[in-house]
Each structure stands twice: as C-alpha cells, then as structure tokens.
Amino acid sequence: MGEFFNVVESEKAYEFISKLKSVEGFEILDVRESISRTSAEDVIAGEDLPGFNRSTVDGYAVRSPDVFGASLSTPAMLKVVGEIKIDEEYEKVLGEDEALKVPTGGKLPDGADAVVMVEDTREAGEYIEVFKPVAPGQNVMRKDEDVAKGSIVLRKGERINVGHVALLLNLGMVNVKVVRRVRVGLISTGDEVIEPEMKRTFPHVRDSNTHSLKAFLERLGYEVKRYGISHDDFDELRSLMLRSFEENDVTVSAGGSSVGVRDYTVDAINSIGRPGVLIHGVLVSPGKPTIFGLVDGHPFVGLPGHPSSFTLSAFVFLIPLLRKLSGEEDWMLKPTGRFKIADNVFSKQGRETFIWSERLYRGGEVLVKPLMFKSGMISPAARADGFIRIPAGVEGYYEGDFVEFYSISEGLLI
Amino acid sequence: MGEFFNVVESEKAYEFISKLKSVEGFEILDVRESISRTSAEDVIAGEDLPGFNRSTVDGYAVRSPDVFGASLSTPAMLKVVGEIKIDEEYEKVLGEDEALKVPTGGKLPDGADAVVMVEDTREAGEYIEVFKPVAPGQNVMRKDEDVAKGSIVLRKGERINVGHVALLLNLGMVNVKVVRRVRVGLISTGDEVIEPEMKRTFPHVRDSNTHSLKAFLERLGYEVKRYGISHDDFDELRSLMLRSFEENDVTVSAGGSSVGVRDYTVDAINSIGRPGVLIHGVLVSPGKPTIFGLVDGHPFVGLPGHPSSFTLSAFVFLIPLLRKLSGEEDWMLKPTGRFKIADNVFSKQGRETFIWSERLYRGGEVLVKPLMFKSGMISPAARADGFIRIPAGVEGYYEGDFVEFYSISEGLLI
C-alpha cells in the first residue's frame, strides 16, 4: 500500500481519469429528450440537406455556359420560361438559353447550375438580358451542401446540444442512441456532520456537500444516490461504501475536516478491493486532500469536506471524471476563456491554485475579479460565477494580466 | 396599426423586454430542487457562519495585548492552559498571559482575540515563548465573518446556483421561495412544415424549431407546451394562438419562410387584443423577421422560421425575455467574454450580426473561430458552441481582433 501514498500534481489525477473506461450500456431516446446526453454511436445522415439545389438569392436560374462572357456591352439573352414561388418546382429540364425566375430559397430546376442575381439582369419581354457571367454553382446551395447523405452528423462521444437536436429532427431522425446515465453514490463522513434540517451547536456542521452536489449532478444528467452521513467509524463507512460500490458506477465521499477521517476512508477503500487508493492528495489549492482510488474497476473519489473546497474540487476533478465515464470524448476541464484580471492575486506557495471569481462588465470589456476571502468561507462560492486558475509554479498575477477563467455553467451544457 | 410597423434596432427590442413584468405567483421548494430557479424574495441568514471565532492556522489562541511588543530578543511568556482538537471547545475564559493550543479550524476560547502561529513560538515546559506580536483578529475568522445573521444571502431576482444551495443548507434553510415556472406556448407555422417523423418531399421542411426549443427551454426550467403546426391560414393560426394565450404567459411562433405567413401572424395577433404587434422586425442578421407584440399584457414573440436563424434569435431575444418574465434581475444577454478571432469576418451590410462560432484552444490561448457557411444552413449550429456579435456600424473584424463571444451554455445556469 505504501508506495501508492503519493501526493501528485493535477496532471496525474487527469491521467488516472483518462484511463477510466466509459460505462457499458445505452438507451434509445427520443431526440427531444437527449440534450446533454452522450451519443453512443456515430449518427449517419440518411438524407441530403437541403435535399435540392437551392438559390441563395432572388434571380434567374440558368445554365452557366449560356452566360459565359456576358457583360454590360454584350449581354446574354435568355428566354424566361417561367417563375416559381418558394414552394413550387419547375417540372421540366431547363434548356439551353433558358432562364427560370426563382426566389431566395427557391428550387433550381434540373439543367440549371447557377443563379444570376436579379440586379444583373434586365427584363425584355419574354427575355432577359444578363450583364454578368456566373460560375457553375454560383448563388446556389448544393442539395448536399449543408449535410450529405452518409456523412456523420453526430459523433460517438459527442455531448448532444440543441443544435444537434434541430439537425437530427430536420433529417427525420427522432431517436438517438445514448450512453446510459452514469450512477453516482455519495457518502458524507464525519462525526461532526449533521443533516441540514438539524439544529446546529458546536462543533456541528450541516452537510451541504452531498445534498448540493446531488442537486447539481442530477441537473447535469447523472443518476445520484445519497448514502447519508457516516460517523468516523471504519465499519460504518466501509458498509456504506460497499452498498454504494454495488449500486453505482462511481462512489464519492465528502471527507470530514479531520485527518483521522481521511485515514478511515483510505483504509475502508483498501479493505474492499484492488488496487485501492492510488492518489492520496493532489497538489492543488484548495482540494489537496482529494483522493482517487479504483476498486475492482469501480472508481472512487474522496473530496475534501469543506464546502468551498468540496465544490471546487468537484468541478475540477469529479465532473471531468463523470464525463469520461459517460463516454464523452471531450471530457477534460477547459477554460471558458482568458480574461484580464481586475486585482492582484497570489498562488498558495507556488502550488496550482483555484480561486472563486466573478466576471465584471466594464465598458465593453469583460474582466475577472477574484473573490478575496479567508480559507474556510462558504459564501464566496454563492457569489462567484466561476473560478480562475493559477498554474503550478506561477506565483500570481498582477491586475491587467490575462488569466484562465472557468465558468460554472461551462462544461455543463456544451 | 400602421405606426407600429417598425423595424427597429435590437436596443428597442430589449427596451420592450425591460418593460415586461415578472409573472405573479411563486412556489416554496426544497432548496435541493431549486437550482436555476429565481428567488422570489430576499433570503435572510438566521445564523452566523461559521458561528464561532475560528483559527485559520495551527497555533495558540491568545489575548493580543499579552504579546504586544514580543520579539525574538524579548519573547512574551504565556502559560499553556491546554490543547483542543477541532471538535472540542475550551470551557473557560482565557485569562491574562494564557495560551490555548488550537488547530486550523479550531474554536477560539472566550477571551482570546487572535492566534499566534506555531512557527512563531517555542515550547518551554508549561509555557510558550512568543516571538512575534499579533494584531486583534489576526489568524482568526470572526464568528460572523462568512455570513452575519440578518444579512441577505440570496437576493430577490437572483438565479439560484449550486453555491447558494450549499450556503442555504449550511445555514439550515431547506426551503426557498421561488418564482413559479414561466409557461411558454409554441406554435409552428407554414404550409410546408411537417412533423419530424414524416417523410419529406419537396417543398416540405420538418419542424425542428418548436421541438428543439421545447427541449431546450424545458432544460432551462420553463414549462413548455407545443400547439403543433398551423397552416398558412388566418383562422387556424388565430385559434391556436387564442389557446396558447389562454394557457401560457408568453406565446412564441416559428414563422414559415414565406412573407405571407408573417402577415397572417401579424394579423392574427392584432385581431386578438391590444396593442398587438409592436415591433415588426429587428435590424439584426440573422433574425430580422423577429416580431414582438403584446396582447392584453401577454407578450408574443414571432421568431424566423429558418432553423439556424430561429435558434439564434431564441438565444438573443427569447431567452432574455423569459428570464425577465421569471423575475430575474440579471436577464440581459451578456457576452461570455471577448476573444481573439481566428479569421476575418464581415457583417451583413453594417447591420448587427451574429455568427455561429466555436472556441479553439491553441497553446494556452482561447480563440474564437466563426463558422463560415451559406445562409440557410442548419448544420453549423450543431458544430458551434456559441456565437459572436458584430455590433451595428462595425463592418467586421480582422483575424486577431477581439470580439464578443456568447457561449450557448452561458446565461443558462449562471
């Protein structure tokens, strides 16, 4: 066991996550119920979109060779064979030196390969004069230019967004195969931890961690079961863990604040199966007490007990892990963007540091303001709309420097 | 009616939205079910947090005057009266020249007003030498420093996030009063529009609009009812509208592609009540055909029928409107950030222009790449993770310029 008792850089934690396998099993869902789920297969278009050659301007559908070399001084003369509305089609093949008047969005007749804009023509009885040549395909959206039949419109491992839903429905696909929901078991630990409904006297702290995380993860589409609060007791913790390991794909504990509880957690995991705890602390602030383990293929994440650290570590480590288990290709934590910082800020002893922050909108500029607070405060997480990251080895930033910002809502629905 | 037939800048549309009243009615929810809902009242803390004066370091709780002037050469000598663990408290009042050993997070005894870090002391039998003075409050989080009893922890009109949930549960508040869900009625219009399940032949287009919008709005927490597809028929459209107006807080139509349908829509609205259609087109691209109306206090939004324009207009106008109706203070569309653009891009004739885009991550930089496509394509919205905005009067941007980017997932959960 000893050799695994390592405190590692966050890269190692992500390396651990990268090796986890996606859960097995899928569901066939109505596309309209699939937002934020992960596609379980490459989805192939069964039709072309738009499905017909479509004019992108108001003008005349023509055969481009017929207007080759047309100019103001030597216009091409074409016979106008008719005019169609947007919902009409010309039944015949467009012949040589013929033109069909078409609206924007209208269907090109067979034979036509381009559209002359109405501004480049002049009506002359049954004829038009065309003053400008068009290249083949000009002012036309090809029938398979938006989507070609047989092409992939949704990749395996992509998270489904509202744009995919619209696209699939347009293609007439109303069902989609998605990875089944990942099941998460949550255990709170600590003699001092009580349920939120209870009256608090020293040294009690109410368990906000597993309750708020459950609410949040359910909103993200995970199936979450809470196993209550374990005392600082090896047997009690182990038996809750066993239940969670049996019923879920991943088990998450919210550690108590004392060092003793972490020891119980490690011992319990290691007593259940192999290889047990693999990462015993991550060199990030906050979140150093974060633990990762694997028990007979079942991942375990131990998050720090303090609410602010807990929520931050959940964003930084747990959600990427859950996205990986859900089969998402693009599971890694990614910054929303890089923004100018509105204050000086310093890292914790050169360690990789995350700080709750909020964006400020100042005269068209978007800045990010770190919320200064004492370690242990809970309220800043409610004020923040995200957090910044100071990489390992960087001592801090001065006002005006660009910093990575991670929005709370990013990485959730996209 | 004539005077209202105005095409306006987007500012006017937001001015219209800004005047809409929040829906009446609220619900009492379990805090754990309240993420993304709007608080219906200021929520006042009933307790202090952390609730006791807490040490932020490992050290000795002291009375600061006792170590005033302490230095390496003239240390203060204090009697150590004991040591507490994190879950213990010292029952007596700390007396003059006394010190109590406390861990990080430990409770200060009455009488103590500061903590000397263990590094600044040396044990000497029952005593410690203190080599550094501390100011009152140093290394201490005051009992009401995180949250003071009586202070507002969640404002009326705030959207509830996971941080609020954690904070309220920590304070023992398990219920919260939220604005009731806004009810949205959706109507699709157009002779050419068919349901997604149906076989498509020219000139049919499948209705992805109201289906995908319903899915999306439901995920955002709105109550959405779809009223099917109306033909280009005044009476049919009017009767669907009447039903929707009766059963919802806001009615939204997805217009057909032809000009005729827009006329039916305007006529139907105006025939139902006063003042009727107020904004008949907005100077944005895409989304120009967007209509806003008000019928006996019930807002109406007519969105363009093309899927890509429809979804963009829904993000730009409809969602801010729904947030306003939900009582959100911070309802206005806000950019996720300003990013360097990875390509040249041009506006549509100097008009305010929105373009589906995706972020690129290149060597630590976050860029935004506009997705170039022909007007009328549906697939780019599925590839995009947001859109950029070119303000009115700006002709475009060159590669490397900073542009406003709006993430699809932003404005949803924050």
Say if residue B32 is in the same domain as residue B170. Answer: yes
- Alpha carbons B409 and B160: distance in angstroms, whole number: 16
- pLDDT reported for residue A4: 45
Residue of B nearest to A192 (CA): B87
- Nearest CA to A62 among A86, A85, A50, A79? A79
**Residue B274 sits at the chain A interface (C-beta within 8 Å):** no
Residue B62 contacts residue B130 (beta carbons within 8 Å)? yes
The answer to whether the CB atoms of B385 and A359 lie below 8 A apart is no
Measure Cα distances from A51 to A21, A174, B101, B377 in Å: 39, 18, 78, 12
The range of the structural domain enclosing residue A169 comes to: 27-48+149-179
**Residue A267 sits at the chain B interface (C-beta within 8 Å):** no
* Residue A414, domain member (yes or no): no
A to B CB pairs, distance under 8 Å: 286
CATH number at residue B100: 2.170.190.11
**Residue A346 sits at the chain B interface (C-beta within 8 Å):** no
Question: Which residues in chain B are contacts of A225 at CB distance < 8 A?
Answer: none
* Residue B133, domain member (yes or no): yes
Query: To probe the interface with A, which of B206, B285, B397, B406 has the most A CB atoms within 10 Å?
Result: B206
**Residue B393 sits at the chain A interface (C-beta within 8 Å):** no
* Residue B330, domain member (yes or no): no
Q: Which pTM was predicted?
A: 0.94
- pLDDT reported for residue B318: 97
CATH number at residue B224: 3.40.980.10
Biggest distance spanned by C-alpha atoms of chain A: 96
Say if residue B167 is in the same domain as residue B33. Answer: yes
Say if residue B316 is in the same domain as residue B253. Answer: yes
Average pLDDT, chain A: 93
- DSSP label at residue A85: -
Say if residue B168 is in the same domain as residue B257. Answer: no
Q: What tens digit of pLDDT does each residue of A242-272 get?
A: 999 999 999 999 985 456 666 789 999 999 9
Tokens of A258: 């004392």
* Residue A71, domain member (yes or no): yes
CATH number at residue A393: 2.40.340.10
- A412, pLDDT greater than 50: no
Distance from the B158 Cα atom to the nearest Cα atom in chain A, whole angstroms: 10
What is the SS3 assignment for A226?
Answer: strand
The answer to whether the CB atoms of B382 and A172 lie below 8 A apart is no
- B4, pLDDT greater than 50: no
- pLDDT reported for residue B259: 60
- pLDDT reported for residue A163: 94
Residue of B nearest to A191 (CA): B87
Say if residue B280 is in the same domain as residue B200. Answer: yes
Backbone φ and ψ for B390, nearest 5 degrees, come out as -105, 115
- B50, pLDDT greater than 90: yes
> DSSP readout, B285-328?
ES-TT-EEEEETTEEEEEE-SSHHHHHHHIIIIIHHHHHHHTT-
Backbone φ and ψ for A348, nearest 5 degrees, come out as -85, 100
* Residue B389, domain member (yes or no): yes
The answer to whether the CB atoms of A172 and B196 lie below 8 A apart is yes
**Residue B221 sits at the chain A interface (C-beta within 8 Å):** no
- A317, pLDDT greater than 60: yes
Say if residue B188 is in the same domain as residue B302. Answer: yes
Question: Which residues in chain A are contacts of B360 at CB distance < 8 A?
Answer: none
**Last residue of one domain, picked from the residues A141, A169, A204:** A141
Q: What tens digit of pLDDT does each residue of B252-307 get?
A: 999 854 566 667 899 999 999 999 999 999 999 998 889 999 999 999 999 998 89
Q: What tens digit of pLDDT does each residue of B122-163 get?
A: 999 999 999 999 999 999 999 999 999 999 999 999 999 999
- The strand ranges marked E within A190-295 are 193-194, 205-206, 223-230, 250-254, 275-280, 284-285, 291-295
- The strand ranges marked E within A191-325 are 193-194, 205-206, 223-230, 250-254, 275-280, 284-285, 291-295, 298-303
Say if residue A31 is in the same domain as residue A168. Answer: yes
Question: Which residues in chain B are contacts of A377 at CB distance < 8 A?
Answer: 141, 145-146
Q: Is the ipTM of this complex over 0.85?
A: yes
Say if residue A200 is in the same domain as residue A315. Answer: yes
* Residue B332, domain member (yes or no): no
The answer to whether the CB atoms of B200 and A172 lie below 8 A apart is yes
* Residue B414, domain member (yes or no): no
Say if residue A200 is in the same domain as residue A273. Answer: yes
- Nearest CA to A159 among A116, A220, A205, A218? A220
Say if residue B111 is in the same domain as residue B86. Answer: yes
* Residue A331, domain member (yes or no): no
**Residue B348 sits at the chain A interface (C-beta within 8 Å):** no
Pick from A216, A361, A375: CB nearest B35: A216
Average pLDDT of the residues in B376-386: 92
Q: Which residues pair with A100 in a beta bridge?
A: A61, A82
Average pLDDT of the residues in A84-96: 95
Tokens of B217: 């709005």
Question: Which residues in chain B are contacts of A354 at CB distance < 8 A?
Answer: none
Say if residue A278 is in the same domain as residue A243. Answer: yes
- Alpha carbons A133 and B288: distance in angstroms, whole number: 31
Query: To probe the interface with B, which of A48, A167, A200, A312 has the most B CB atoms within 10 Å?
Result: A167
Say if residue B253 is in the same domain as residue B387. Answer: no
**Residue A151 sits at the chain B interface (C-beta within 8 Å):** no
CATH number at residue B161: 3.90.105.10
- pLDDT reported for residue A115: 98
Average pLDDT of the residues in B78-100: 96
Question: Which residues in chain A are contacts of B89 at CB distance < 8 A?
Answer: 202-203
Cβ neighbors of B385 (< 8 A, separation 6 or more) are A161, A414, B357, B358, B359, B407, B408, B409
State how far Cα A304 lies from the chain centre: 25
Average pLDDT of the residues in B76-90: 95
**Residue B270 sits at the chain A interface (C-beta within 8 Å):** no
Residue of A nearest to B360 (CA): A337
State the total domains in chain B: 4
Pick from B147, B376, B408: CB nearest A379: B147
Pick from A206, A377, A413: CB nearest B169: A206
